[in-house]
Amino acid sequence: MLKALLLLFLIPPVFGQTKPVELRVAAAADLQPVLEAVGPVYEKKANVHLLVSYAASSILVSQIISAGPGGPFDVFMGADFYFPEKVVAANLADTGSPIPYAKGTLALWTRNGSPFNPLQLSALESSNLKSLAIADPEHAPYGRAAVEALKALKLQDKVKDHLVRAENVGQAGQFAFTGNAELAIISKTLAVSPKFKQSGTFVLFPFSSYNSITQTAVVLRSSAQRDAAHAFLNWFLSSEVQPHLPDLGLTPVK
């Protein structure tokens, strides 16, 4: 997959611009490995410099709404429909409704050498479990999905005393990566990224155990780079990107 993306570097960049357009992207934390993989391709193709800020979706929305017109971002790529819709409701989006760009998947991850290997979801029932990291469900869609999955699998009571809440799904993964948690419920995008894939193992939660994680985006009305922002989202939705998303842990919407 990465070879296919690297081939896109051979596409001639847009001429007529000497200085790249700066595009400020507010992105949900699960997208960090995704945008780190595909972002450089687009930067070369479109003569754009992506300035990406990663955080929990609710944190980013709070920043966008509190800033109002003239805010700090051009594009918001959330991890669900709800938070981008709040931007639309505040009349701060340049689109009538959030634009779906991918669907996410929930994974349980642990380090290599963990006593819970070979990893199975039954590890969550183990009496030896001391710490399970999840993203804060109040702020992060993947944290909300984690709680839904634990409830659906009747595991919530078993793990409630062992939960370690992180600000976002990236931090939840980092807690387990550094050994500050034994297990973490994270996005598949993190689980299949080189950093986590080389250092641990993961299993997926049944799709039936949590509501579909439909990830959506909006262009900000106040952006001075609205055309460039729409072009970036259109590219992400194109055949240049969507077929590669499964290798990066996302399900395409096209």
Tens digits of residue pLDDT in 50-96 = 999 999 999 999 999 999 777 899 999 999 999 999 999 999 999 88
**What's residue 62's pLDDT?**
96
Q: Which has the closest alpha carbon to 136: 111, 155, 163?
A: 163
The domain segmentation of the chain, as residue ranges, is 2-7+21-103+212-252, 105-209
Structure tokens at 241: 């990107």
pLDDT score recorded for residue 71: 82
pTM of the full predicted structure?
0.91
Confidence of residue 17 (pLDDT cuts 50, 70, 90): low
8 conformational bin, left if phi > 0, alpha if psi -120 to 50, beta if neither: alpha
In this prediction, residue 15 has a pLDDT band, given cuts at 50, 70 and 90, of very low
Q: Which CATH superfamily is domain 2-7+21-103+212-252 in?
A: Periplasmic binding protein-like II (3.40.190.10)
Q: Is the dihedral of CA 227, 228, 233, 235 positive or negative?
A: positive
| Res. 40: pLDDT tops 70 | yes
With 60 as the cut, is the pLDDT of residue 9 above it? no
Give the separation between CA 20 and CA 83, rounded to whole angstroms: 30
224 Cβ neighbours under 8 A, 6+ residues apart: 74
pLDDT average, residue stretch 129-157: 98
Counting beta carbons within 10 angstroms of the beta carbon of residue 122, is it exposed (0 to 12), middle (13 to 18) or buried (19 or more)? exposed
Write down the pLDDT at residue 125: 97
Q: Which of 131, 136, 141 is nearest to 189 (CA)?
A: 141
Instruction: Give the pLDDT of residue 69.
Output: 78
Q: What is the pLDDT of residue 3?
A: 52
Mean pLDDT over each residue of the chain, to the nearest integer: 94
- Mean pLDDT for 39-44 is 98
Q: What mean pLDDT do residues 139-162 have?
A: 98
Token readout for 29 is: 């934390």
- SS3 annotation, the chain: CHHHHHHHHHCCCCCCCCCCEEEEEEEEHHHHHHHHHHHHHHHHHHCEEEEEEEECHHHHHHHHHHHCCCCCCCEEECCCCHHHHHHHHCCCECCCCCEEEEEECEEEEEECCCCCCCCCHHHHHCCCCCCEEEECCCCCHHHHHHHHHHHHCCCHHHHHHHEEEECCHHHHHHHHHCCCCCEEEEEHHHHCCHHHHHHEEEEECCHHHCCCEEEEEEEECCCCCHHHHHHHHHHHCCCCCHHHHHHHCCEECC
Q: Is-same-fold flag (2-7+21-103+212-252; 105-209)?
A: yes
pLDDT at 68: 78
The answer to whether residues 156 and 163 touch, using CB atoms and an 8 Å cutoff, is no
Q: How much of the chain exceeds pLDDT 70, in percent?
A: 93
Exposed, middle or buried by CB within 10 Å (0-12, 13-18, 19+), for 10?
exposed
> Which CATH number applies to 105-209?
3.40.190.10
